[in-house]
Amino acid sequence: MARPFFEFGPGQNAAMTSAVSILPGAQLAVLNAAYRAAVARKRLRLALAAAAFLAALVVAALGAEVNLRTLFTYFGNFISYFDRILTLEDGTRVWSNPTEWFWGWRKWLWMLAETILISYVGTMIGAVLAFALNFFAAQNTSPAPWLRFVIRRLLEFARTVPGIVFALIFVIAFGLGPMAGVLAIAIHSTGALGKLFSEIVENADMKPVEGVRSTGASWLSCMRFAVLPQVAAGYASYALLRFEINVREASVMGFVGAGGIGQELVVAIRKFYYSDVSAILVTIIVTVFIIDIATGWLRGRLFGGDARA
């Protein structure tokens, strides 16, 4: 029910402080009616939107075979799964015996290093390709509209197809191993970074470009001496951010045979080596934390506080 704020007649005036002036009744009635109508319309729209959303949810629940009654039993299983992965084979908690828990740390650290290297090399290749393409994709620097259209669609394709799909296909083309993972990450990063890079270029100040152009410089010189100095810091910042994301992505490349620690993890999960699962998960989480903090610190160091976004 919509109750207007100032719905009181002149008779109640005495109870209020005299500073509040009250409109005449007729005028007030009109305002109140308008207020009620506005609130009612807003509520009707909200109710309609909520109903449509609920209907979509019900359809989705049927489609995804969700059963609310079993959800609770399943949730119990989920909790007990964590109980199991935090228990060693002799029945004690994992943290009571760290050497037993991390029995394979030498191998896991090695695979973790490979994971980080995969994402590093993939990010580098992706950043270089994105750098080469982004000036053609940006509205203000592209030499020809058709070229811009083609490059933009290419970048869109590269970032919409998930990295792991590329990895699945590359594993068949390049064989099992980290190379497929690197190339998959490189292509996906090219698409994502190409878009971000070209947006930075579109925000760049065009006056230096005009200045360089007025001296008779070529398109290449314009990019090198007028645009690049403005955008280089932003590029590096985004590339670092991408590296951070790619570490996470590289940790699952092993699921399809494309190298990294995912291989170990998928074996541990599928074969129910419970304490190994928790040990590898902890290693991955800690590594991701460290890399997040390190790249955050590096970006802050290199580009000051304002380039963090």
Partner 1 sequence: MSQLSKPDREQLRAKYPDVFDRPAASRLATPAMIVAAFAVFIFGLVDLDFSPAKLFAGLNQLGWITLMMIPPDPGASLPAYLSALGETLSIALLGTTIAAVVALPFSLLAARNVIPSGWLRFPVRRAFDSIRGVDTLIWALVWINVVGLGPFAGVLAIALSDFGAFGKLFSEAIEAADRKQVEGIRASGGNALHEIRFGLMPQVLPVIAGQVLYFIESNTRSATIIGIVGAGGIGLQLAEQIRVLEWQKVSFLILMILVAVAAIDWISGKLRFAIIGQRAVA
Tokens found for residue 213: 């152009």
Using the rule CB under 8 A, give the single segment among 74-82, 86-94, 97-105, 189-197 that binds partner 1: 74-82
Residue 111 to residues 2, 184, 288, Cα–Cα distance (Å): 63, 18, 14
Nearest distance from C-beta of residue 181 to partner 1, angstroms: 8
Any contact of residue 229 with partner 1 (CB under 8 A)? Answer: no
* For partner 1, the closer CB: 31 or 79: 79
Q: Shortest gap between Cβ of 130 and partner 1 (angstroms)?
A: 15
**Phi, psi of 278, deg, nearest 5:** -65, -40
Residue 67 is encoded by which pair of tokens?
């059963």
Distance (Å, whole) CA 110 – CA 200: 37
Contact track, partner 1, 160-189, x by CB under 8 A: xxx-xx--xxx-xxxx-xxx--x-------
* CA 59 to chain CA centroid, nearest Å: 27
Structure tokens, 15 = 């109870």
Q: Which stretch binds partner 1 (CB under 8 A): 6-14, 29-37, 94-102, 283-291?
A: 283-291
Residue 19 or 64 having the CB closest to partner 1: 64
Q: Which is nearer to partner 1, 226 or 247 (CB)?
A: 247
Cα separation, 112 vs 117, whole angstroms: 9
Number of neighbouring beta carbons within 10 Å of residue 267 = 14
What's the min distance (Å) between Cβ of 27 and partner 1? 27
Q: Which is nearer to partner 1, 181 or 209 (CB)?
A: 181
Helical packing angle, 262-270 and 274-303, nearest 10°: 150
Point out which span in 22-30, 101-109, 132-140, 158-166 binds partner 1 (CB under 8 A).
158-166
Q: Does 281 bind partner 1 (CB under 8 A)?
A: yes
Residues 88 to 117 in contact with partner 1, rule: CB under 8 A: 114, 117
Q: Is 63 in the site for partner 1 (CB under 8 A)?
A: yes
What is the DSSP secondary-structure string of 29-63? Answer: HHHHHHHHHHHHHHHHHHHHHHHHHHHHHHHHHHH
| Per CB under 8 A, 289 contacts partner 1 | yes
Q: Residue 275 has which token pair? A: 């304490």
Does position 259 bind partner 1 by CB under 8 A? Answer: yes
Pairwise CA distance, residues 86 & 46, whole Å: 46
Please, is 254 exposed, middle or buried when counting C-beta atoms within 10 Å of its C-beta (0-12, 13-18, 19+)? buried
Four-residue CA torsion sign, 284, 287, 289, 291: negative
Total residues contacting partner 1 by CB under 8 A comes to 56
Task: Pick from 111, 112, 121, 226 the residue near partner 1 by CB under 8 A.
Answer: 121
DSSP lists the bridge partners of residue 93 as: 87
Write phi, then psi, for 87 (nearest 5 degrees). -120, 135
Point out which residues bind partner 1 (CB under 8 A): 56-57, 59-67, 74, 77-78, 81, 114, 117-118, 120-121, 124, 157, 160-162, 164-165, 168-170, 172-175, 177-179, 182, 248-249, 251-252, 255-256, 259, 265-266, 269-270, 272, 277, 281, 284-285, 288-289
